[in-house]
Amino acid sequence: MELIESPLQDLKKEVSTGTTIIAVQYQDGVIIGADSRTSSGSYAVNRVTDKLTPVHDYIYCLRSGSAADTQIIASYVSYYLNMFSIEEGCLPTVKKAAHMFREFCYQNKQYLLASIIVAGWDEENGGCVYNVPLGGSIIKQPFAIGGSGSSYLYGYCDIHFKENMTEEEAISFVSKGITEAIARDGSSGGICRIATINKDGVKRRTIYGNELQKFWEK
Amino acid sequence: MQPKKKTLRPIVTGSSVLGIKYKDGVILASDTLGSYGSLARFRDIRRIVPITKHTVIGGTGEFSDFQEITKILRQKIIENQELVESGKEEDELLPSEIHSYLSRVLYGRRNKFNPLWNDVVVAGFEKGKVHMGTVDLWGSYFEDDIIATGYGTYFALPLMRKAYKKDMERDKALEVLRDCLTVLFYRDCRTINRYVFAEITKEGVNITDPVEIETKWEIADWQEGKL
């Protein structure tokens, strides 16, 4: 039995995005945020990961669980969404993308370790957030949190979430959440990547490790 | 009959401890985190503590066992003090004696299948020279000029070995330690950016208050948009 998990043992473990991911519906669309650590046991394989993965122009997915599983599912969904939108001559709805993720996750549930949040903007419905957890259920929510670090945010989110926030309020909600989760969850860390998705497209930003707000530190 | 209190697996754990000798003494460094599995639960603990005026120990692994080791050693110091005062012993226990005693304690516990689940660094000043080494939960005793425990053995030791020169300057030693601590913060999931340095010279022991070290995240821009 190892004293502390050594990297040699760690590298035999599944590489997972032990993670914190948040998606929030706001006035004009959605705000999504994630940390940037990919861990294998207690070794940080990638400290600047980008977990905000586009599957179409106005639709992103937030990945948690096995890095390999979520990467390949996102690739498949983005391929099919692209094909269908060309065939149909219009942009896909977030609902379509979410249901596609669900199909992959549900039909292959024995093989996969994937917990995904699908968020984006479409003309009919504005900003939408769908949660596709382990097992392949699909649940539409005004906000969704996922990953190992999310355990530390249920209290924070339940107390501070409001419907129809402004962009600034929503970004503050997401970045503070990610920051707190990074502070407490060993499997989350690095920087906070945030994206705003609305009718004007996708705007990405990064809050670096040393710029993250400091809350009670002891 | 006493209930069994074996340490089956570590619960609250501390990560790496680093140590490097320099011209005038030795510097140890560690972060101030006590992890509860993957939860960064206790963010202001001290994993490097003074034992005598000239000795310091640092501990990786189960924090309660480290606290127990601190108690055991301080008790030994008190017993030795009494002998010194009654003229039976010469002087305060030396770092090498403390180190040796600790290795017997840990080995004895391992033989009873009830280890103190730690990797302990013992460092101090005796007879004009630095003594530094480790003892682990199996009772293995080891002395060297550069020491690292936990993840530090994999990430910090190679860096320290490259940079170490006998009788190096204090600033250089601190720089090496800071670089190693930064790498560990990047790569070890069970660390935080809050460190304590313990310096031991012939004057005695000086343990700093917790400090933060600057980190670099520019490479994040190159990773954006990539899977």
Q: Are strands B129-136 and B118-126 parallel, antiparallel or unpaired?
A: antiparallel
Of A44, A48, A184, the CB nearest to B39: A184
Residue B189 to residue A184, Cβ atoms within 8 A: no
For A50, nearest residue in chain B (alpha carbons): B224
Q: How far is B179 from chain A (nearest CA, A)?
A: 16
Side-chain-facing half-sphere of B72: CA atoms under 13 Å? 17
Residue A145 falls within a domain, yes or no?
yes
What pLDDT is attached to residue A218? 72
Q: Which of B217, B221, B226 is the best substitution to test chain A (most A C-beta atoms within 10 A)?
A: B217
Give the pLDDT confidence score for residue B167 in this predicted structure.
94
What pLDDT was estimated at residue A9? 62
Q: Reply yes or no on whether the pLDDT at A60 is more than 70.
A: yes
Chain B residues near residue A43 by CB distance under 8 angstroms: 151, 187-189
- Count: domains in chain A: 1
Residues B98-102: contacts with CB under 8 Å, at least 24 apart: B98/B51, B98/B52, B98/B55, B98/B57, B98/B73, B98/B122, B98/B124, B99/B131, B99/B133, B99/B135, B99/B141, B99/B143, B100/B141, B101/B73, B101/B76, B102/B57, B102/B69, B102/B72, B102/B73, B102/B135
Cβ count within 10 A of residue A25: 25
Structure ipTM = 0.81
**DSSP-based three-state secondary structure for A65:** strand
Range name among A13-17, A75-79, A195-199 with the lowest pLDDT average:
A13-17
Active-site residues of B, by number, are 7
Place of tokens 């190892």: A2
**Phi then psi dihedrals of residue A120, to 5 deg:** 180, -165
pLDDT tens figures, A3-15: 455 555 665 566 6
In a domain, A216, yes or no: no
Q: Which residues of B210-224 are buried (b: 16+ CB within 10 A; e: fewer)?
A: beeeeeebeebeebe
* Chain B contact probe: residue of A32, A37, A40, A42 with most B CBs at under 10 A: A42
Residue B35 tokens, joined: 């992890």
Which pLDDT score, from 0 to 100, does residue A4 have?
Answer: 52
Domain-located, residue A5? no
The distance in angstroms from the start CA to the end CA of chain B is 59
Q: Classify residue A9: in a domain, yes or no.
A: no
Instruction: Kindly state the DSSP code that residue A152 receives in the 8-state scheme.
Output: G
Tell me the Cα Rg of chain A.
Answer: 17
User: Which one of A3, A20, A79 would you mutate to disrupt binding with B, by most B Cβ within 10 Å of its Cβ?
Assistant: A3
Among all residues of chain B, which has the CA nearest to that of A75? B227
Q: What is the pLDDT of residue A135?
A: 87
Q: Is A164 exposed, middle or buried (0-12, 13-18, 19+ CB in 10 A)?
A: exposed
Q: CB pairs under 8 A, 24+ apart, for B44-47? A: B44/A217, B44/A218, B44/B194, B44/B210, B45/B14, B46/B196, B46/B207, B47/B14, B47/B17, B47/B196
What local confidence, expressed as pLDDT, does residue B120 receive?
98
User: Token pair for residue A158?
Assistant: 């339940």
B151 chain-A contacts, CB cut-off 8 A: 4, 6-7, 42-43
Reading phi first (left if > 0) and then psi (alpha if -120 to 50, else beta), residue A50 is in beta
pLDDT of residue A201 exceeding 90, the answer is: yes
As a whole number, mean pLDDT of residues A111-139 equals 94
Which pLDDT value is given to residue A3? 45
Check pLDDT > 90 for residue A115. Answer: yes
Closest Cα in chain B to A51: B227
pLDDT computed for residue A2 by the predictor: 45
CATH number of domain containing A78? 3.60.20.10
Under 8 Å between Cβ of B170 and B13: no
Closest CA in chain B for residue A45: B187
Interchain contact, A18 vs B194, CB within 8 Å: no
Nearest residue to B194 via CA among B71, B69, B15: B15
Nearest to B189 among A36, A43, A50 (CB): A43
CA distance B188 to A41: 10
Q: Does the residue A120 lie in any domain?
A: yes
Sheet holding A192-198, edge to edge: A143-146, A21-26, A29-34, A192-198, A201-207
Assigned domain for A4 exists:
no
Both tokens of residue A91?
């942009």
Contact with chain A for residue B211, Cβ under 8 A? no
Domain that includes residue A101, residue range: 16-211
Q: What is the pLDDT along chain B (227 residues), one digit of tens a residue?
A: 776 667 678 999 999 999 999 999 999 999 999 999 999 999 999 999 999 999 999 999 999 999 999 999 999 999 999 988 888 777 889 999 999 999 999 999 999 999 999 999 999 999 999 999 999 999 999 999 999 999 999 999 999 999 999 999 999 999 999 999 999 999 999 999 999 999 999 999 999 999 999 999 999 999 988 87
**What average pLDDT does range A183-188 have in this prediction?**
94
A–B: how many Cβ contacts below 8 A?
102
Tell whether A206 is covered by a domain: yes
**Which candidate from A47, A53, A193 shows the least CB-CB separation from B186?**
A47
Distance between CA B153 and CA A7 in Å, rounded? 10
* Whether B209 contacts chain A with CB within 8 A: no
**β-strand B34-36 against B129-136: which pairing, if any?**
unpaired
Please report the pLDDT score of residue B71 as a whole number: 94
Q: Which residues fall within 8 angstroms of residue A86, CB to CB, at 6 or more apart?
A: none
CB contact under 8 A, B220 and A208: yes
A7 within some domain: no
Q: What is the percent of chain A with per-residue pLDDT over 70, rounded to a whole number?
A: 91
Cα separation, B12 vs B3, whole angstroms = 21
pLDDT at A207: 87
